[in-house]
Amino acid sequence: AQVKPFVLQERVEGTEVSCNGWFNGREFVPPFDITLEEKKCLAGDLGCRTGCESNVVYHAQDERLADLTVCLMEEELAEEGYQGPVDINSIISADGTPQFLEFSARLGFDATQAWMRLIPEGELGEQLEAFISGVGSQAGC
The per-residue DSSP string of 99-121 comes to EEEEEE--S--TTHHHHHTTSPT
pLDDT band at 97 (very low <50, low <70, confident <90, very high): very high
Q: What is the mean pLDDT of the segment spanning 116-138?
A: 71
pLDDT at 141 over 50: no
Q: How far, in Å, CA of 25 to CA of 69, rounded?
A: 18
Task: Report the residue count for the chain.
Answer: 141
Dihedral pair phi/psi, residue 3, rounded to 5°: -85, 130
Confidence check: pLDDT of 115 > 70: no
Q: Would you state the torsion angle of the CA atoms of residues 65, 69, 70, 71, taken in this order, to the nearest 10 degrees?
A: 80
Question: What pTM does this model have?
Answer: 0.67
The β-bridge partners of 88 are: 19, 103
Per-residue pLDDT band for 33 (boundaries 50, 70, 90) equals: confident
The model's confidence at residue 53, banded by pLDDT at 50, 70 and 90, is low
Tell me: pLDDT of 74 over 80: yes
